[in-house]
Chains A and B, each alone.
Chain A
Amino acid sequence: MLHVTLQQGGASINPNNVRLRINGSEVAVPEGTTILKAAALNGVEIPTLCEIEGLTPYGGCRLCIVEVSGTSKLFPACTTPAAQGMEVTTQSPKLYEYRKMVLQTLLAERTHICAVCVANEHCELQANANNHGVDHVMYERNWSCESIDSSHEFLVIDRNRCILCTRCIRVCDQIEGAHTLDLKFRSKSTNVIMDQDQNWGQAMSCTSCRKCAKVCPVGAIYIENENIEFTKDRDIAAFLSKRRRRSR
């Protein structure tokens, strides 16, 4: 997993600030701030999926890609530090098209049927797809047959809805400190597992803290018989890590 030290954004008159342009306007942010944060601090929103504040960025979903002048390469805003003199474009027809394809690719990868999903209308994948006008999927869909595990007292994982953003893994490791969750295998077979690939009910290290369900952007991890609207809490990781930093 990626470990990058990220500083909090904020101060503008600071010798350690870097100046850059985002969509044409000049902004200044402390050195080490990511493009995503720099944009947010200046009111520019970039769509994200795997990123969540308070955890180390992952750079996996590729929804947050931006253009940087002087190179044809695209960079993920959530991991790329803002640099002096950088000129960033966060919106263009090309980026829009590629983001649409990222969403279509995720929708085609496993079994996403919104109508029968616990996260319907509270799903970040669905919301992003709506925002990007995704009205069909360019590939033939792959109706996956991944396993569902409801052996835990109340936490359920339906891997057919997982987009492998690793938010649950990171929150379990970095905030809860349990590291119950991790990935197994690679490529198409990549999956979230508990402990040594045990059933969740038998995973001794799980503290049943529910943070994984709170940060899961889709309906993959959820709490049985609980309205998902109450479960989801995008700010939990940021809130806890800020509180801890202060109490230290």
Chain B
Amino acid sequence: MKQLKLDDLNKIVDQELEFGQAYNYRINVCCSTSCVSLGSLKVLKAFEDAIKEFGVENECKVARTGCIGACSVGPTVLIEPGDYAYSNVTPEKVRQIVRDHIVLDLPIRDMLYESGTFFQKQHRLVLRNAGKIDPGRIQDYICVGGYGALCKVLTNMAPQGVINEVLASGLRGRGGAGFPTGQKWRLVARAVNTPKYIVANLDEGDPGVYANRSLAEADPHAIIEGMLIAAYAVGAEKGYIYIRSEYPLAVQTLQKALAQAKAMSLLGSNVFETPFKFDIELRLGAGAFVAGEETAILASVEGKRAMPRPRPPYPANMGLWGKPTLIQNVETLANIPLIVQNGSAWFAKTGMTKCSGTKCFSLTGKIANPGIIEVPMGMSLREVVFDIGGGVPGGKQFKAVLIGGPSGGCLPEQLLETAIDYDSLLKVGAIMGSGGIVVLDEDDCMVDTARYFTEFCVDESCGRCTPCRAGLPRMLEVFNRITHGQGELTDIGTLEKASVFIRDVSLCGLGQTAPNPVITTLRYFKNEYISHITEHKCEAGKCYTSRYNKEEPA
């Protein structure tokens, strides 16, 4: 097969640009999971028909793209130039959009997404191409500079140079723990054993979180390019993308992307006519939350039960089949091409000094503009909830924000100034997690919320270690008593004691972080526990707290 050269990349870019210049407009129809479920494939078809009907096929191109983030108002359509975002587009509205916007050049203001500062306050690095390129065409990715970073490292940089660049960028892992990425690469690069492996973590088991899925559906090649660069830097030969099988569209998108990259010899041997070789395989997970934990993911890739094991030995030295393995979240990997292309100094300008870059979140719960967002590190929670999220809808009172998924912390109003970065969040009892922010309002009960997430972790415990397997269910029983009006004040002490024990003694991150919602609600909302226990009262009306009166809540 013919090897690709830099010239060829440039040729593809030129071709694409020439091709694109023929069009005045580009209509990007979001075809990621949530918009498809709202009927965006019909919208896509309607656009194709409508431009023929109006005879403007030569003036505008209809593209099937990934998500721009405004998932609650889908199907969304982004028309370039000008980035006009139409929301709630139905096939019936399509004719009007084509007639007014394309034929008459009059964007329809009434149909545009009323988002306030939803987009303005975001800073899109990882999601730079989301909603703008067709994830099914590698040419689209190359046209926006894709695989240029790979070519640069292979032809111009030594592996150590790449690692230094990543170290200098200050990039930290986006999968939750925030370990400095460059340091991890250095550890794997220095490990003596061969072959070395890379595992890209796209397990994303947190309930209600889908930022990684959105990334894979919108820009799969950014993940693949990041993996290739990492492979070159650490000397790995083989990579696995571990993705849950509940993400069929993302699986399909990645499969297609891998096939296209292989066809262009971007994967395989002699990439860009250099001795570098690397191959990527997809591995489908069965959907256990714990499978995202780094030692569990290794077991699962090897075909075993997804059960974490104690560390040390660390995967950097003893990972897949006992060989050095780099495990990295897909969002972390998607940052890599940017760092290589623009330099670490450029990257470090975004975010904070000790915590650079951006973070993607799925913003959900009682919020006006839910969806996928990307914000610079260090932005305050208040800005995320109120400026980007548009605050709590329906005139309700904000109560708390849960950040970090099922094992995150519930933070009250007075902590909304907390900056979003690993250390500040840890200080107040929350974690970054893999990107879930849930907003709660006056109708949510904090005791019930803590109970709900404890229940989730009870179900997801792998069963290996005593505190998590046998301790969490006991906490859940205490919660069930309290929310059924059978709590006693001593239960608060039991919860406090048990949660600290489970946090400190559990084997893996699941057990170690599972008590976070309990610890934070006990710290910031203790009065709710007390009123449940002593007055049999649930302010939010969620719990059946009284044995004597009240009907069962709906």
Contacts and interface: CB of A to CB of B under 8 A. Distances in A.
A197 B504 CA distance: 34
Contacts of B227: none
B142 interface: no
Contacts, number: 106
Given A65-B505, A138-B494, A60 B465 contact: yes
A4 interface: yes
Given A2-B310, A108-B474, A183-B305, A74 B505 contact: yes
A29 B285 CA distance: 41
A53 B458 CA distance: 31
Interface stretch (A16-24, A151-159, A186-194, A219-227): A186-194
B286 to A, nearest CB: 11
A189 B470 CA distance: 10
Interface in B229-280: none
Interface in B451-494: 458-467, 469-471, 473-474, 477-478, 494
Contact of A140 (B304, B305, B470, B474): B474
Contacts of A58: 464
B470 A109 contact: yes
Interface in A65-104: 65, 74-76, 79-81, 98, 101-102
B310 A79 contact: yes
B460 A76 contact: no
Contacts of B467: 62, 101-102, 105
A187 B469 contact: yes
A186 B462 contact: yes
Interface residues of A, number: 37
Interface string A100-140: 01100110110000000000000000000000000000111
Given A2-B309, A139-B494, A164-B463, A188 B505 contact: no
A12 to B, nearest CB: 23
A187 B460 contact: yes
Contacts of A76: 310, 507
A98 B503 CA distance: 11
A4 B469 CA distance: 24
Interface of A is mostly: loop
Contact of B507 (A60, A105, A140): A60
Interface in A1-59: 1-4, 58-59
Nearest to A164: B463
B458 A188 contact: yes
A230 B212 CA distance: 56
B458 A80 contact: no
A211 B304 CA distance: 24
B313 interface: yes
Interface in B487-540: 494, 497-498, 501, 504-507
A208 interface: no
A142 B474 contact: yes
A186 B312 CA distance: 23
B288 interface: yes
A139 B464 contact: no
A139 B305 CA distance: 30
Contact of A80 (B310, B494, B501): B310
Residue among B304, B461, B463, B501 with most chain A CB within 10 A: B463
Given A80-B310, A187-B469, 17 more contacts: A59-B310, A62-B467, A62-B507, A76-B507, A101-B467, A105-B467, A108-B470, A109-B470, A109-B473, A138-B494, A140-B477, A186-B290, A186-B461, A187-B459, A187-B463, A188-B469, A190-B462
Interface of A: 1-4, 58-63, 65, 74-76, 79-81, 98, 101-102, 105-106, 108-109, 138-140, 142, 163-164, 183, 185-190
